[in-house]
């Protein structure tokens, strides 16, 4: 397994991008829409770091200060098996496995309710190499 990124919920996406970019030197690596909620995401990186910070904005969110941790994301070899193992360890399924041509995806809450995104990128069939691009842009709540 591989820890991929941390997603935090924000109340104003543009303001948060400006804060992390101008204040901490992070660069926007990508942006996307969340079809399921009408929300938007922005992925940011610090130069020289492999870590990603995903900023998530959802319309109509019941956001309150201190609730901004949105989810932790892990790349796994088998989404269904990993979700089942986490449930056996006290987690609960939030979203069943979603199969797409580019990836398999599920959400499981840990025993304290923190969402864990499980994703398995699938190889591209056209070129036969590489991970599926942009799987984060369609993954959130």
Residue extents of the structural domains in the chain: 7-61, 71-128
Residue 53: predicted pLDDT: 94
* Sequence-ordered list of residues with C-beta below 8 angstroms from that of 40, at least 6 positions apart, any chain: 13, 31, 32, 33, 34, 56, 57
Domains 7-61 and 71-128 share a fold: yes
Placement of tokens 């929300």 in the chain: 39
Query: pLDDT band for position 23 (50/70/90)?
Result: confident
What is the DSSP pairing of strand 115-121 with strand 69-75?
parallel
pLDDT at 21 over 50: yes
80 given a catalytic annotation: no
Q: Which CATH number fits domain 7-61: 2.40.70.10, 3.10.180.10, 1.25.40.80, 3.40.30.10?
A: 3.10.180.10
Q: Answer whether residue 69 shows pLDDT above 80.
A: yes
CA gap 74, 3 in Å, rounded: 5
pLDDT at 125: 60
Residue 124's pLDDT is 77
Q: Which fold is adopted by the domain 71-128?
A: 2,3-Dihydroxybiphenyl 1,2-Dioxygenase; domain 1 (3.10.180)
What average pLDDT does range 84-112 have in this prediction? Answer: 91
Report whether 2 contacts 121 (CB < 8 A).
no
Which tokens is 114 given? 């923190």
């Amino acid at each position: 397994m591989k820890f991929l990124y941390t997603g935090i919920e924000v109340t104003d996406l543009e303001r948060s991008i400006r804060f992390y970019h101008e204040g901490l030197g992070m660069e926007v690596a990508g942006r996307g829409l969340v079809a399921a909620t009408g929300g938007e995401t922005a992925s940011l990186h610090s130069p020289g770091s492999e870590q990603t910070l995903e900023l998530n904005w959802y319309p109509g969110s019941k956001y309150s200060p201190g609730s901004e941790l949105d989810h932790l994301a892990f790349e796994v070899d088998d989404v269904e098996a990993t979700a089942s193992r986490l449930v056996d360890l006290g987690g609960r399924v939030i979203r069943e496995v979603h199969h797409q041509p580019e990836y398999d995806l599920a959400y499981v809450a840990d025993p304290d309710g923190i969402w864990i995104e499980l994703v398995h990128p699938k190889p591209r069939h056209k070129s036969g190499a590489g991970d599926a691009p942009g799987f984060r842009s369609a993954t959130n709540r």
